[in-house]
Structure 1
Amino acid sequence: MTKQTTLRESLGRLYPHVKPILPRLLLGLLCALGASLMALAIPQVFRVLINDALTAGGAESTVWIASGVVLLLGILEATFVALRRHFVITPATTVETNMRTSFYRHLQNLTLEFHDRWGSGQLLSRAMTDLNLMRRWMAFGLIMLVVTSLTVVIGVVVMFLTSWALALIFLGAALPLMIYGFRFRTSYSRVSRKSQDQAGDLATTVEESVHGIRVLKAFGRSREALDDFEEQAEELRQTEIHKARSLANFSMIVTLLPELALGASLVVGVLLAAGGDVSIGALVAFFATAAVVAGPVEFIGPLLAMTFAAKTAIDRHYEVMEAENTITSPAEPVRLDQARGEVVLDDVHFRYPDSPEGTRDVLDGVDLRLEAGETMALVGVTGCGKSTLLQLLPRLYDVTGGSIRIDGTDVRLVSLDDLRTHVAVAFEDTTLFSNSVRENVLMGSRAAPGAEAERAVEEALDVAQAHFAYSLPQGLDTLIGEEGLSLSGGQRQRIALARAIAAKPQVLVLDDPLSALDVNTEELVEQRLREVLHGTTTLIVAHRPSTVALADRVALMRDGRIADVGTHPELLARSSHYRYVIASLDEHPVDLDTVLEDTGPDETGRNESVQSGSARNDEEALA
């Protein structure tokens, strides 16, 4: 979290963004001020009219002249209001768009460690709601707050020039307003921050529920999820009520005190007019001016509320923008133009930043060498650090000790773009985007658009045995839905594998890429992978014996270290732990998504048979 800042410091952070549009904002400010001056000028016309035309012997033409002047002032006021909007709307929306783009760019650059800590709803509310609030404050709140303040000051000066005694009475309401305004600023800022944070948490809950709707339905937890959501929504409602009450109380004080002052001024003014100390025209002008000033005074409450909410939005925005990106490209990167793909892990250590003190590193001195073009399987019991190790190669995380080298070059000396061009990853937990099949597959490819890209897609889909993509409603142009949930688990995994293959990297990192495939499909994929992986250095996490068969050598991982390396027969012969791990691997996995989609209620017994058969196989393997 960022340090606490004052209102001035928070609003000052917007200056670099506002600077390019400052001339137009100033024009908008001048137009808004011009509109207020036109409104303040109208009472002075009334004073002249009453003192000259509405007395004995007054000229009739004065009435028509005064009416024309009032009409002209009204037209000018409306014109200035329209010009204010014209000058500020476009540049303010441009600033909002630029800030939103910068925010998204920064999110893309931030480390996985940051994203592990932050809820997606909190980031979404900062990217959308907070920036929208800042834009409205820049285009309206800031200008109107300045103009309203100037209008009140100018109006009070005019009132003093008209009658200093009556103006002093009106000004007497200012002192309690200032005292209460200071208290309002503190309390409203606090409750505004609480409201925006709760809205972000609520957005996170909605997103998690939508993404996990299958789980909620499958376990019959929709009611519990709704109860939790209602509780969060009620907390937000109570906070919003508290915020509204604070604003209502402030608005009441801001409205009541000037009205009481006007009532007292009216009594005193009548007495002064009766004694001849103030003319009737001056008295009318004073109260007409007071009526013009009363509007901005009442409007100060909502404007201050918007300003404090904008301060909170700015603070929340910069909590993310000031988050340090610890994984960056070096100032003078080394290029991997002629990379062969030799990978060396030398005494690699890694621990997550939030790991408790005194605990062992997740990776506790990993030493491993992959020759160029070699395919190595990485096996071990659950939790030994296999998936963590794979994420270090493309620098999704950075090592906390030791080094990882590709062709002798430390990956930290290579630019991120260059490194991730040469290293491609396919995760077990597949993530697809709301694009077409073609766009998802080509995400990592550097193939030129056109025939070359089409060949890359066709080859990748063929290797991954993802031929089902051609039979989708729009073929490869079919939008596969948010996170690919319109596809089965096996289909998503094959698309993700095709994406990694299409990148044609020198180093391919596969985190159990075949776990959701049935046995027949897996065999076809393995046959094609043997052809494609020739010449590509591949590190593949294996959770089944058939995947191990893809490898030239196998690395056995245990307690965050490489316990042994050798061929599959060698490790079977000399390592009891390896035999235990291999016996624990699932030999006959089932794409449960496909089974459930293809099975109706009347086939429940068959599903149970499949599952019990799988369990028996596990028991036999372990035996």
Structure 2
Amino acid sequence: MDQKQNGLKPFFSLILSTKIPKFAIIVGLIASVITTIVGLAIPLLTRELVDGFSLASLSLSFIFLIAAVFILQAVIDGVSTYLLAAAGQQIVAQLREKMWTKLIRLPISYFDKQQSGESVSRVVNDTGIVKDLISQHFPQFISGLISIIGAVTILLIMDWKMTLIMLLAVPFTLIIMIPLGKTMAKVSRGLQDETATFSGNIQQTLGEIRLMKSSNAEQFEENKGFGGIKKLLGFGLKEAKIFALIGPFMYLVVMVVIVMIIAYGGIRVSNGTMSTGSLVAFLLYLFQIVFPITSFAMFFTQLQKAKGATERIINILDIPLENGQDGKQMDISNEPLQVRNLSFSYSDDDSPVIKDISFDANPGEMIAFAGPSGGGKTTMFGLLERYYEPTGGEITIGGTSIHALSLASWRSQIGYVSQESAMMAGTIRANLCYGLEHADDIPDDQLWAVCKMAYADQFIESFPNRLDTEVGERGVKLSGGQRQRIAIARAFLRDPKILMMDEATASLDSQSEGIVQQALSRLMEGRTTFVIAHRLSTIVDADQIIFIENGEVTGIGTHRELISNHDLYREFAEQQLT
């Protein structure tokens, strides 16, 4: 998207795509206008007070009138501020909902290329910039504009000569402020990008804190973090320099104008062509013009920030969703799965990772993928799970392409048990029920039943809080074997038709491996099972072993068949099984 060509159009299109709280914005803006108009009346009341000042002229009604004007202005201003802030909060909440809904439905390929912390920064920081513009700077700009127009109009009526003297400062101000505003916009956009990058690096480091500590990488990460902080500091100092120019310059302009007005006005008062009250009112109106002009610089700076933030938000919202959001529902029980001429590469520029693979998997069979590391086994799992779209060929279930099914229907019938046994921070109960509809309605008896089937019930019962035990981030409070058994219990609870296992016992000690292997054997009964094998001992009884090298199938058969007719498989078997 070319932001320079589109200007503010994308920003307004993005805002209009939300359900704008029109009532709050209209009432808030009207209240802001009323506040401004009431404020314009104050200098006129002050003029009457100064010109006619005497103890005798100070009537109680006049004092009450001035007090009422101030109180009315404060109350209406408070209502306006709240309503516009609430409208901004509601709009940004909707934007965050849209972005979050989009992010969690984007294809895995997006997250392969994008740091998660950077995406988080877009959802939190960029939408916050849009919120500040809507709820704070835009209302200030509108009320300031009304204040300036009203004040200048009144001043021209009061004394056009003195008004023209004051307006001489406007072109000089614009000559300085416009270039500073453009520079500020560039700095602000750079600061947004660097903030997103820094957030991504911080989140990655903290997410892999154990790897960092076990690698003695504290110094490396410290230096890397300091580098990001220094870049942020650099942008912050550039912003500070611009503000350091804007503030004193505006102060200088204001002081020069005030001195000129007081000098010229003093002469007018002394020769009787202007009253003292009029001079005081003139100065008060001058302040009502100066302060909004000063805030305009902040408004246009924030507008540039919002344009940059809008561009990044729209870029995320424009990314296509995973295919299959609206596919059909289908029960895949007892259906054969066929893979025909399957090919895949991660991008158009990359060489294929999977090349022309074909095989059949009949209901209830165990299909194992074996071969050297980097051969394409994990990628094959990614294609079966529909994390990626094949670049050639197709996968069918019961004669229907799996890509014709909805993702929800397909994935709800697949159980996946990996080496890592991914877990979310929370309780054992929450992890068992994660992603299931009506999770809160699943009875404890059912949860304990699947835990027993996965041989997880004994260690869970040993915890004081049992199913409500907190597992910590990524399940760090549990051992590897315990995490695996909970992952298997989770699979039992879903009753999957197809089971996928990425060598689920590879990282366990012998005692845990024995227990987990029993649980897996129980889980595999009657289900079509795909296994990635790092150790051939776990797949010697597989119905089919598919040997993959460099993305190509070089052998298919049982363990006994491959021993006799596949040299590399035989070599693997001799190394591991003898």
**What band does the TM-score fall into relative to the shorter chain?**
over 0.9
CA 1:373–1:228: 2 relative to 1, 3 Å: same
The secondary structure found in structure 2 opposite 1:369 is strand
1:46 aligns with 2:46: yes
Q: CA deviation at 1:59?
A: 8.7
On the 8 A contact 1:255/1:297 being kept in 2, the answer is no
1:167 aligns with 2:163: yes
Q: Which residue of 2 aligns with 1:475?
A: 466
Letter paired with 1:535: G
CA 1:562–1:364: 2 relative to 1, 3 Å: same
Q: Deviations over 1:311-333 (max 9, x none)?
A: 33322322222222252335xx3
Q: Which residue of 2 aligns with 1:351?
A: 345
1:272 aligns with 2:268: yes
Q: CA deviation at 1:377?
A: 1.1
Structure 2 alignment gaps of length 5 or more: none
Q: CA deviation at 1:557?
A: 1.2
More deviation in 18-27 or 59-68?
59-68
CA 1:339–1:78: 2 relative to 1, 3 Å: same
Q: Which residue of 2 aligns with 1:407?
A: 398
Letter paired with 1:350: F
Letter paired with 2:292: P
- Structure-1 separation of matches of 2:329 and 2:551: 30
Residue of structure 2 aligned with 1:462, choices 453, 461, 464: 453
- Structure-2 separation of matches of 1:550 and 1:193: 59
CA 1:204–1:338: 2 relative to 1, 3 Å: closer
CA 1:348–1:141: 2 relative to 1, 3 Å: same
- Structure-1 separation of matches of 2:238 and 2:442: 62
The secondary structure found in structure 1 opposite 2:83 is helix
Q: Which residue of 2 aligns with 1:340?
A: 334
CA 1:547–1:372: 2 relative to 1, 3 Å: same
Structure 1 segment 56-455 matched on structure 2, within 5 A? 60-61=56-57, 64-330=60-326, 333-337=327-331, 339-353=333-347, 357=349, 359-443=350-434, 445=436, 450=441, 454-455=445-446
What is the root-mean-square deviation in Å for CA atoms of aligned residues?
2.5
- Structure-1 separation of matches of 2:440 and 2:242: 58
Q: Which residue of 2 aligns with 1:575?
A: 566
- Structure-1 separation of matches of 2:2 and 2:385: 30
Q: CA deviation at 1:25?
A: 1.1
Q: Report the TM-score, using the length of structure 2 for normalisation.
A: 0.93
- Structure-1 separation of matches of 2:170 and 2:35: 24
- Structure-2 separation of matches of 1:16 and 1:461: 53
Q: Deviations over 1:445-498 (max 9, x none)?
A: 568755666425532553365743332342221111112223333333333333
Q: Which residue of 2 aligns with 1:606?
A: none
CA 1:448–1:135: 2 relative to 1, 3 Å: closer
More deviation in 477-486 or 364-373?
477-486
CA 1:187–1:28: 2 relative to 1, 3 Å: same
CA 1:286–1:376: 2 relative to 1, 3 Å: same
Q: CA deviation at 1:221?
A: 1.8
Q: CA deviation at 1:36?
A: 2.1
The secondary structure found in structure 1 opposite 2:386 is coil
On the 8 A contact 1:377/1:555 being kept in 2, the answer is yes
On the 8 A contact 1:341/1:536 being kept in 2, the answer is no
- Structure-2 separation of matches of 1:275 and 1:461: 102
CA 1:68–1:543: 2 relative to 1, 3 Å: same
On the 8 A contact 1:464/1:497 being kept in 2, the answer is no
Letter paired with 1:533: M
1:23 aligns with 2:46: no
Q: CA deviation at 1:334?
A: 3.2
Q: Which residue of 1 aligns with 2:36?
A: 36
CA 1:460–1:561: 2 relative to 1, 3 Å: farther
Letter paired with 2:568: H
Residue of structure 1 aligned with 2:550, choices 551, 554, 559: 559
Q: CA deviation at 1:107?
A: 0.7
On the 8 A contact 2:471/2:477 being kept in 1, the answer is yes
CA 1:293–1:425: 2 relative to 1, 3 Å: same
Structure 1 alignment gaps of length 5 or more: 588-620
More deviation in 421-430 or 148-157?
421-430
CA 1:297–1:461: 2 relative to 1, 3 Å: farther
Q: CA deviation at 1:72?
A: 1.4
Q: Which residue of 2 aligns with 1:590?
A: none
Letter paired with 2:213: K
The secondary structure found in structure 2 opposite 1:278 is coil
Equivalent pairs counted in the alignment come to 578
On the 8 A contact 2:547/2:569 being kept in 1, the answer is yes
Misfit runs of 4+, over 6 Å: none
Letter paired with 1:314: T
On the 8 A contact 1:254/1:301 being kept in 2, the answer is no
CA 1:209–1:540: 2 relative to 1, 3 Å: same
1:492 aligns with 2:483: yes
More deviation in 439-448 or 19-28?
439-448
The secondary structure found in structure 2 opposite 1:428 is coil
Q: Deviations over 1:226-245 (max 9, x none)?
A: 12111211110111111122
- Structure-2 separation of matches of 1:584 and 1:13: 63
The secondary structure found in structure 2 opposite 1:39 is helix
- Structure-1 separation of matches of 2:477 and 2:519: 26
Q: Which residue of 1 aligns with 2:513?
A: 522
Letter paired with 1:257: V
Letter paired with 1:103: M
- Structure-2 separation of matches of 1:98 and 1:105: 10
Q: CA deviation at 1:360?
A: 3.0
The secondary structure found in structure 2 opposite 1:125 is helix
More deviation in 37-46 or 470-479?
470-479
Q: Deviations over 1:535-579 (max 9, x none)?
A: 211111011123213522211112212222111111111111111
CA 1:18–1:31: 2 relative to 1, 3 Å: farther
The secondary structure found in structure 2 opposite 1:352 is coil
Q: Which residue of 2 aligns with 1:604?
A: none
The secondary structure found in structure 1 opposite 2:294 is helix
Q: Which residue of 2 aligns with 1:591?
A: none
CA 1:496–1:550: 2 relative to 1, 3 Å: farther
Percent identity over the alignment is 23
- Structure-2 separation of matches of 1:18 and 1:152: 31
Q: Deviations over 1:241-279 (max 9, x none)?
A: 111221332233333223312222222222333344333
Q: CA deviation at 1:169?
A: 1.4
Letter paired with 2:34: G
- Structure-2 separation of matches of 1:106 and 1:363: 29
More deviation in 494-503 or 507-516?
494-503
CA 1:295–1:44: 2 relative to 1, 3 Å: same
Letter paired with 2:39: A
On the 8 A contact 1:247/1:301 being kept in 2, the answer is no
Q: Deviations over 1:38-95 (max 9, x none)?
A: 22211101222333x24xxx79345544433221110111111111133233333222
- Structure-1 separation of matches of 2:507 and 2:254: 72
More deviation in 309-318 or 538-547?
309-318
